A and B are shown apart, each in its own frame.
Chain A
């Protein structure tokens, strides 16, 4: 049947052109990530620049207009986090002084505002208002007063994008706060976003973890520092043929409530080796396994 735009040769030409465009789309889809990233950065810094600029303005405006009580509460909590670090930093300085080692970067975190992203394909991602100019790098942990929010993936000069704990690719080395069980925490998507949860997978079968047990980052895996709260165990999800158990974990952080966050700085030496349990008053026993980096750090 002839279309309203003409028949015969014109239709065939249109079909060929459509085929080329479809081939281009398939090529784009199949490209390795290292070639996709520059294209993504180019589009972000050109066509989408006004969208992000407007988003930044809105975030600043939202931060200024937020309920004063909430802002004060978040500020106080973040201050508590920073203040707790001061004690560790002082202890670190004293010990380093005793050992005759040089001074390290004093601040592990930089404060930022978090803007949730929500469109098809970008669910469970967020923007933060800090970038490489502020000393952060891909892989940096993002924390709130309640616990671990997520991890940064793409870092621009003044803005970064990350995935939160509900993203399908989120993983964190985790342990119970008593140090009895270690495993990996990953996301579990609920029927509705409000039902999203975490799962502690790969825990030893012979260990029973009671409901209500706090789960924190273990510091293993080289991504997140040790001792950051992830959530509370709700119950067992599955037992895998006598080898391991998986537990459902109620997340410590609800993304809807997060506005102000701290991001770990890449230039803070040894930040990944520190234990932040004291900041959240989480009792955590000493790690029984020495991370390979700590041997190098100790030799400096």
Chain B
């Protein structure tokens, strides 16, 4: 029970840090996408429906910051949350390399979904918009997520 609350606290902390870094401090993409990382880490321990619901809530939060299309991130995060919950059935594992690959693919998939739902015109430049920069961003976010996961496991280990 304590470990579950500890994990929830880590996820909540990641959400809070995301908004502080990206919005309050105005760091933008210099800071990793910890919101999607938080969803992906949480979804691994939740039912798919609960993961989708968490994705919807976090997506609405991010959508509320913008002035353009509302609901695009909510929809993208809902799908990613559901897939994250389902991923337990498809892939077993909790090692840092596995978490790293999982987070990289998850953050990248979210970026692709979000970009397409955001109404970006499909032309020759979309490949660059969906591949090069987003993969680097996904690796960056995954590294931050693995670091948070390792910090959590080292913190939670004595309570076993």
Contact = CB atoms under 8 A, between A and B. Distances in A.
* A is bound by B: yes
Interface of A: 1, 3-5, 14-15, 17-18, 21-22, 24-26, 28-31, 33, 36-37, 39-40, 43-44, 47-48, 51-52, 54-55, 58, 115-123, 125, 153-154, 161-163, 169, 189, 191
B65 A28 contact: no
Contacts of A40: 63-64, 70
Given A1-B89, A29-B75, A117-B23, A14 B47 contact: yes
A33 B66 CA distance: 13
B37 to A, nearest CB: 13
Given A21-B56, A51-B19, A118 B71 contact: no
B20 interface: yes
Q: How large is the interface on B (under 10, 10 to 19, 20 to 34, 35 or more residues)?
A: 35 or more
Nearest to A162: B67
17 contacts: A4-B88, A4-B89, A5-B47, A18-B52, A22-B52, A22-B78, A22-B79, A30-B71, A31-B70, A40-B70, A58-B24, A58-B26, A120-B62, A121-B72, A122-B62, A123-B28, A161-B67
B144 to A, nearest CB: 15
A17 B62 CA distance: 23
Contacts of A163: 67
A170 B20 CA distance: 27
Contacts of A122: 62, 65-67
A121 B65 contact: yes
Nearest to B22: A119
A119 B62 contact: yes
Contacts of B19: 48, 51
B20 A51 contact: yes
A21 B28 contact: no
A32 B156 CA distance: 46
A25 B48 contact: no
A1 to B, nearest CB: 6
A48 B79 CA distance: 23
B48 A120 contact: no
A297 B49 CA distance: 59
B139 to A, nearest CB: 16
B68 interface: yes
